[in-house]
Amino acid sequence: MWNQEEEDDYNYELSLNRFEAMLKTNKVFFFDSEEFENIILYYLDTGKNNLAKQALKLGLEQHPHSTELKLVQVEMLVYDNKLDKADELLDELILIEPANEEIYIQRAGVCSKRGDHQKAVELLYEALKYTDDHIDVHSLIGMEYLFMDEFEKAKEHFLRCLEEDYRDFSSLYNVIYCFDFLEQHKEAIDFLNGFIDEHPYSEVAWHQLGIQHFELKEYELAIRAFDYATVIDEYFLGAYVEKAKSLEHLKRYEEAISCYAHTLDLDDPTSFVLHRIGRCYHKLGDKEAAVKYYHKAVHEDPLLDKAWLSIINMHIEEQNYQKALHYCGKALDTDKENEQYWKKYGQINHQLGNLSETINGYQKALEFGNFELHTFVALADTYIEQKNYEAAVQILLEAHDLYEYNREVGYRLAGIYFTMGSKDHIITGKYHLIRSIWLSETELDCWTLERLFPKVYKRRDVQRVIKRNLRTFGGKKGWF
């Protein structure tokens, strides 16, 4: 004999088949309102909106007074962003059934879509008066509070969901999300330990506990929690991955590799895991195995920039710049707008002495959003090598706009202006030199000027400025 769930599934399939058979003929079959509701929701869930609208039209023709079908109609109007029409229909429905919680829920959805989350909350509290399904309404209230960044209130409602059903993992994740956003990692640990005391076989809670310990760099405790999660559910991929990451932080790379490798036995390989295995082999000094897994990672996902950068960096470490450039080119073939690839392109070409391509690489990196100080400085240094001082000044001034006044930039500006040599340039050069000295941590910071502009550094007037200002500010720095 069938159980009730199997019978419901059979009837649902039968209704769907009858409806689709009707669409292929000119006949009109009768369906009760619940059947129409299920058919419409099925088409909405599967993205067949036109069929859903067709089913709704026929449903309302056969059941023009069905509140349930009209509520589905509201849902579709909201989906189509026809919020005013949805409001009009809800106004009609609330006069007919003022105690129908679904009307308040739908009206809250309209308010939420308009951005009026406070009004949505008020309507959902009204729905709580009439509903038997408190979990869903508390969850919706929690989400509205998340939209308003009121994480304490959101947490309170997700906790109520868990009080009614501890297996409501969505609410559990949302509670932890609130703790995380509030940076309450210790409070989250206390909550999870209490939750686990009551529900010791909740693998999700153990997993989340491990993540909180990981955030606090308590890696041994994290591993213990992840172990419990995998004992409860031996196929819990996320727990194995997080455990492996914890082992990496403890420099237990061989154990981490074993843990990552176990996930490959449980499911299809992911580029993330393959890359992490490569990193572990790299840390162990096994570069051959590292490169093998890095290549597997980019084969699995050619857009994984971390894997491409690992391959490129490994060849840079070995000073095999031609090979590094080859793989940098391959990486750029997959993503021509990747700022990190262009920065590497600039660095590698600089090592190879290709100054024009070095400039091209750093310029592209800046163009695509790499505004790191090092990128500005490296581009300026390349212009300085070419004696293109005007271009170097322009780049360094752009860096000043982003980083206020920085001594690395200031020493370079000082060197350029002294090199340019006019009276006005020298005055400007002294200004930048004095400001840079006052921002320096030690006397050795002047090495930037000495390295890039040795002739300027040896000038008597420059040395006088350096010594005078070091003495003036030396009491705080301890230079004299």
What pLDDT is recorded for position 348? 98
32 vs 214 pLDDT, higher one: 214
Q: Is the pLDDT of residue 475 over 50?
A: no
**DSSP symbol at 148:** T
Q: Is the pLDDT of residue 32 over 80?
A: no
Q: Is the pLDDT of residue 477 over 50?
A: no
What pLDDT is recorded for position 478? 37
Q: In the chain, what are the domain boundaries?
A: 268-370, 397-480
Q: Tell me the pLDDT of the chain averaged across its residues.
A: 89
Distance CA 221, CA 205 (A): 14
Give residues with Cβ within 8 angstroms of 432, minimum separation 6.
410, 411, 413, 414, 417
Tell me what the mean pLDDT of segment 20-40 comes to: 74
Under the banding of pLDDT at 50, 70 and 90, the label for residue 412 is very high
Q: How far apart are the first and last CA of the chain?
A: 95
Tell me what the mean pLDDT of segment 266-292 comes to: 96
Under the banding of pLDDT at 50, 70 and 90, the label for residue 54 is confident
Distance CA 234, CA 225 (A): 14
Give residues with Cβ within 8 angstroms of 192, minimum separation 6.
176, 205, 208, 209, 212
Is residue 51 a contact partner of residue 43, using CB atoms and an 8 Å limit?
yes
Tell me which of 24-28, 189-193, 259-263 is least confident: 24-28
Tell me which of 49-63, 94-108, 132-146 is least confident: 49-63
Per residue in 413-437, pLDDT (tens digit) is 999 999 998 999 999 999 999 998 8
Residue 414: CB atoms within 10 Å: 30
100 vs 64 pLDDT, higher one: 100
What pLDDT is recorded for position 219? 98
Per residue in 284-328, pLDDT (tens digit) is 999 999 999 999 999 999 999 999 999 999 999 999 999 999 999
Q: Is the pLDDT of residue 1 over 70?
A: no
Enter the CATH code of domain 268-370: 1.25.40.10
Tell me what the mean pLDDT of segment 175-204 comes to: 96
73 vs 247 pLDDT, higher one: 247
What pLDDT is recorded for position 12? 61
What pLDDT is recorded for position 2? 41
Comparing CA positions, the residue from 2, 68, 5 lying closest to residue 31 is 68
The one-letter code for the residue type at 248 is: E
Tell me what the mean pLDDT of segment 88-103 comes to: 86
Under the banding of pLDDT at 50, 70 and 90, the label for residue 443 is low
Under the banding of pLDDT at 50, 70 and 90, the label for residue 441 is low
Under the banding of pLDDT at 50, 70 and 90, the label for residue 474 is very low
Distance CA 12, CA 2 (A): 14
404 vs 114 pLDDT, higher one: 114
Tell me what the mean pLDDT of segment 52-56 comes to: 77
